[in-house]
Amino acid sequence: MTARAHTAAGVKPVRMTGSQRAMHRMALERHPRISLKVIRCVHTVVFVALGAGVLETFRAGIFQRPSRATGPAIVATFGEGLILLASGNRCPLTGLAEDMGAADGRVSDMFLPSWFARRIPSIFATLFGFGLGRLLEAQASDYTRDGRLS
């Protein structure tokens, strides 16, 4: 978010001075294992939540029955795509975990077989695209059936 968007949303962006940044860095250096565990935990929660969002979009598309969670799931998935696009197709938390000393900052390798972990982007992009396409198709057919679009 930009500074203007933060202010409009009632959230002020955090700005650290040079000395505050140095103190923050020193605190992280004192407790690297705790910091790394926190980063991995946050990374895992985000990974699972976004995966659930993709599966919700796929489910809604298959059955053409969106739920209250479908809209936020689509927005979150597009948001993830924009973040990955802006960071060179690499999760920013992965780099942060590696900066904290992790040999490999990826989370999916911790609990998934490596052959599946490597294919997650392709598999989930396909599921998301299919589900979104089916939802758009259903919405377009509703418009034509109601006579709103001719």
Report the C-alpha gap between 15 and 44 in whole angstroms: 27
> What is residue 42's predicted lDDT score, i.e. its pLDDT?
85
Report the C-alpha gap between 77 and 68 in whole angstroms: 15
pTM of the predicted protein model: 0.69
- Token pair listed for 102: 């992790």
Per domain, the residue ranges of the chain are 31-145
Q: Give the residue, 33 or 62, on which the prediction is more confident.
A: 62
> What is residue 123's predicted lDDT score, i.e. its pLDDT?
94
Report the C-alpha gap between 56 and 43 in whole angstroms: 20
Q: Is the pLDDT of residue 10 over 60?
A: no
